[in-house]
Structure 1
C-alpha cells in the first residue's frame, strides 16, 4: 500500500465515502435494521420507503429531528451515491438492495462491535483444519493413504475410549465459540456474493456499451463478449462460485443442512447466546444470492439474443431493399437487356429434385398392447437408471498424469493406465485422450497405435483397446 494507492482509495472507494457520508448515522443504522436484522436481501420501493419513514419518525420521537426530507428522497440520493442498488425486476416498482461497498462497510463496522468474547480456540482449530486440507490436496496417493490410515487409527482409538466410558462433552464455551464462528462465516459469505454479482453486472454493462458504440459485425462482437464471459467463469472466483452452486443445489446437501440446523437450534448453550437468525436463514439467503448471480448472467445472454435478432432484422431489411433496387433497375432498363443471353453458368452435373419424386405419406403402425393389468410402480424403479450415472473427474486424471511424470519426463498412456487402473472403463480413457488433445505440451501420434488392457470389474472380464500412441510430457 503506497501513498498513491491510499490517495486513490480515499477519493474513489465507495466504502470509504460511505464512512464519511453526511447522513452516516441514519445510513448505517437503517441499513442494519432493514437488511441485517430482518435477514432481507432486497425490498420493493413501497416496502423500504415505508420502513424508512417509520424509522425517521421513531427518531423524531426520541428528539432527533435532523432528517426532515421525505424517505423517497433519501433512497434516491443513496442510490445515486452508490450505497444502494436500484433496479427493476418483474413488478413496476423498483427493487433496492445493498451495494458491495455498503456490505463491506457493514462487515467492517460489525468487526468493530466485538462480541462477548473472541473464540480464539475455534479459530485456531479452523486454521489448522485449513492447513491440513491444503496439505492433503497436494499430497501424493501414498501420502494420502498414510494420512487416512492415521485418521482411522485416531477414530478407532476414540471409539474404544467411548466404549470404555471415557466420553467428554465439549464445554458450553467451546460450543458458543463454534456457533459465533459459523455465524460470522455466514455473514461474510452473504456479503461476498455482492461482489460476485457486481462483477457480472459490470460485464453486462460493458457488453451493452460495446453493442451501442461499436459498428463491428455480429461475429466479432459476440466473440469478444464470450471471451470476457469465459474469462470471468474461469477465474478463481468463477470456478469457486460454480462449485458452490453445484454443492448448494445438491439434494443431499440441503437435507443435511436442515438436519444440522435443527440439531443446533436445540442446544441450550446456543439458545442462550443466539440473537439473530442469520444461521437459520442461511440456506434461503444463499439460494437467493446465488440465483441473483445466475440471473445477472442470464441478463447478459438475453441482451446478446436481442442484439442478434436486431442485427438479423437489419440485415434482412438490407437484403430486401437490395432486391427491390435490382427489380427497379431491371424494369427501367428492360429494353437494353438480352433475355436470351446466359446469366449464370454452373459447372458440373445438375441433379434436380422434383416434389413428385418424394414418397407418399405412410401412416405409422399402431401398437396394440395386450390385455394386461398395469400395476403401480415405485418411482425409484423408474428413475434408478437416470440417477445411476457416474462422473469422470478430469482433475483427478490430470493429477494421475502429474504423479507419473514426477519420476519421468515422459510417460505414455499405457503407463498411466498401469499405474492407475481405470475404474470407469472407456469414459476414463477418453478423458485421458481429451487431456492430451487440449494441452499442447502432450503429443498424439495418429500413425502409431498401442494396445490398452482394460478390466470390467462388474463383469470380471478384460478387453483390449487400440488407441493412438499418446505421450505426456512434463
Structure 2
C-alpha cells in the first residue's frame, strides 16, 4: 500500500510543469536559456526585450550545431503552455512582461544544487538545527520553572562571556567555518526570495477560486458575496494572506530592518568574506533590497486582487459572468444528452455564422516600427550638367513670365509713340512666351498703365505656330509714365 500511495503521488507530480521541464527532450537547452535570461540577472523582462534576447541566444546555439527549428515567438508560446513561463500586464506598462513560474524556478534551482552540491553534513547546518530546536522547546514550554531555569542559564553564559572579554580573550570562528555559515545563509535566503513567487501564485489561485465561487454560487447572495458587500478583504483574511501579512510586518519593522542591515554590513566587511564569490557577495549586499522588492510585488498583487475582486462585485459584472457560465453549462449538458442519439460524424442540417473577428494572442502581435518605413533621405551627388547659362536662362523664361523683356519692349515702343495698347504691343513684338506674354502685359498695365472700362481683342502666335485670340481690358501705356518701367 505504501508503494501504491507513493507511486500515485509521483504520477501526479510527473504531470506538473516541474517534472515536465526536467524530462523535456531538449531540457538542457531550454533550462540553459531560461536560466540565462530570467534567473541569473533579470527576473522579469518586457515582451520585446525578451523576444530579442531569446532570438539572439537561439541564433548562437544554432551556430554551435544545435537543432532549434522554431522561432523565439514559437518557443515562448510553448513554454507558456507548458507552465514554465508566466506573463503579466502590470498597471501602467506599455507591454506585457515575462517571468519564470515558481515550478520552473524550483526545477532550475534543483539542477543547480546538483551541479554545485553542498557538503552533506556541515557544522553550521547542525548548529542551526540545534539552535532552532532549542528555541522551539523554550517557546513552547508552559512550565514557569523550566523557563526560568533556561533564562538563568542563558544569563550565566552571557556573564561568563563578558568576563572573558574583560580578560581580553576574544574567540572568533575560523575563516573556514565562517565561510561555511555564510554560504548556508545565502542558500537559505535564496530559497526565501524564491518563496515569494510561490506565495504570489497561491494568491492568484485564491483570486480565481473566489471568482469561480461567485459564478457558481446559487441564489442572489452567497457567503462570498455577503462578505464582500460587508467590506471584508477575503484575500487578506485568507490563510496565505495572514501568513504573508505577518512576514511583511516583520520585514518592514524598523528595528528588525536596522538589525538586518547592520549585520549584513558587518559580515561583508569581515576578512573571510573576501573568499566568497562575486555573485555571493553581491547577493548579500542586495539582500534587503531583494526581499523588499519581492515582498513589495506580492503586496501589490494582494492589493490589486482585492480591489479588482471588489470592483467585480460592486459593478455587478459577476452577474453577467454567471449568466454566461450558466449558458455554457446548459450547452454542455445538451451536448451530453445528444451524444448517444447523434453520431459525431453525422451531418447536421444547421449552419453557424462565425464572427468576423480574429481572436489572437497579444504575444503574436508585432509593434509597428516607424524607422523601418523611413524614406531614404540621403542626397547622392548629381552628375555634372551639360547645360550652359543660355539654356538655363531659357528654362527660367519658360517657367516664369519674363517681365524684364516685356519692359524693354514697352520702352522701345514708347520711344517712338506717345501711347500704345496691349494688342498693338503684340503686333510689334511676338509673344515669345505665348499666353504668358499677354498676362505679363496686362499685369504691367494694371500697375503702370491707364486702365479703361472698354475691352480689346488681342492676337498672337503660340509656340506651336497656331494663331490665338483673347479678350482683355483696354490698357494704354503712355510715355509720361514710362519712367516707372525703369524704376523696377
- Name the TM tier (shorter chain): 0.5 to 0.7
Alpha-carbon distance in 1 for matches of 2:104, 2:52: 21
Distance 1:57 1:265, change over 3 A: farther
Distance 1:115 1:267, change over 3 A: farther
Q: SS of the counterpart of 2:269?
A: coil
Alpha-carbon distance in 2 for matches of 1:312, 1:68: 44
Check whether the contact 1:41–1:285 (CA below 8 A) recurs between aligned residues: no
Alpha-carbon distance in 2 for matches of 1:252, 1:126: 23
Q: SS of the counterpart of 2:106?
A: helix
Q: SS of the counterpart of 2:83?
A: coil
Deviation of 1:187 (Å): 1.1
Check whether the contact 2:233–2:306 (CA below 8 A) recurs between aligned residues: no
Deviation of 1:258 (Å): 2.4
Map 1:220-239; keep pairs closer than 5 Å: 220-223=223-226, 233=237, 235=239, 237-239=240-242
Check whether the contact 1:83–1:99 (CA below 8 A) recurs between aligned residues: yes
Alpha-carbon distance in 2 for matches of 1:263, 1:83: 38
Match for residue 151 of structure 1?
Answer: 154
Aligned pairs, number:
311
Confirm whether residue 80 of structure 1 aligns to residue 81 of structure 2. Answer: yes
Deviation of 1:312 (Å): 9.5
* 107-116 vs 85-94, which moves further: 107-116
1:155-203 per-position Cα deviation (integer Å, ceiling 9, x unaligned): 1111212222322221111111111111100111112222211111011
The higher relative CO (CA closer than 8 Å, separation ≥ 6) is in 1
Alpha-carbon distance in 2 for matches of 1:97, 1:309: 32
Match for residue 3 of structure 1?
Answer: 7
TM-score (norm 2): 0.58
Deviation of 1:214 (Å): 4.8
Alpha-carbon distance in 2 for matches of 1:51, 1:221: 44
Match for residue 286 of structure 2?
Answer: 281
Alpha-carbon distance in 2 for matches of 1:219, 1:37: 46
Deviation of 1:99 (Å): 0.9
Alpha-carbon distance in 1 for matches of 2:152, 2:106: 43
* 131-140 vs 226-235, which moves further: 226-235
Q: Which of residues 245, 248, 255 is equivalent to 1:245?
A: 248
Q: Which of residues 162, 170, 173 is equivalent to 1:170?
A: 173
Q: SS of the counterpart of 1:279?
A: helix
Deviation of 1:256 (Å): 2.6
Alpha-carbon distance in 2 for matches of 1:234, 1:210: 15
Alpha-carbon distance in 1 for matches of 2:60, 2:127: 44
Match for residue 128 of structure 1?
Answer: 130
Check whether the contact 2:214–2:318 (CA below 8 A) recurs between aligned residues: no
Deviation of 1:114 (Å): 3.0
Match for residue 440 of structure 1?
Answer: none
Confirm whether residue 69 of structure 1 aligns to residue 70 of structure 2. Answer: yes
Match for residue 478 of structure 2?
Answer: none
Q: What is the root-mean-square deviation in Å for CA atoms of aligned residues?
A: 2.9
Deviation of 1:249 (Å): 0.9
Q: Which of residues 10, 17, 21 is equivalent to 2:20?
A: 17
Q: Which of residues 255, 259, 263 is equivalent to 1:260?
A: 263
Check whether the contact 2:46–2:97 (CA below 8 A) recurs between aligned residues: yes
Distance 1:226 1:186, change over 3 A: farther
* 157-166 vs 114-123, which moves further: 114-123
Distance 1:165 1:211, change over 3 A: same
**Which consecutive unaligned segments of at least 5 residues does structure 1 have?**
316-474
Check whether the contact 1:122–1:178 (CA below 8 A) recurs between aligned residues: yes
Alpha-carbon distance in 1 for matches of 2:238, 2:217: 26
Check whether the contact 2:236–2:302 (CA below 8 A) recurs between aligned residues: no
Check whether the contact 1:207–1:225 (CA below 8 A) recurs between aligned residues: no
Check whether the contact 1:247–1:253 (CA below 8 A) recurs between aligned residues: yes
1:232-260 per-position Cα deviation (integer Å, ceiling 9, x unaligned): 8453x544322210011112222332222
Map 1:35-434; keep pairs closer than 5 Å: 35-38=38-41, 40-61=42-63, 63-90=64-91, 91-115=93-117, 117=119, 120-140=122-142, 141-214=144-217, 216-218=219-221, 220-223=223-226, 233=237, 235=239, 237-276=240-279, 277-311=282-316
Q: SS of the counterpart of 1:85?
A: strand
Alpha-carbon distance in 2 for matches of 1:129, 1:73: 51
Q: SS of the counterpart of 2:34?
A: helix
Check whether the contact 1:136–1:144 (CA below 8 A) recurs between aligned residues: yes
TM-score (norm 1): 0.60
Check whether the contact 1:203–1:229 (CA below 8 A) recurs between aligned residues: no
Deviation of 1:289 (Å): 2.0
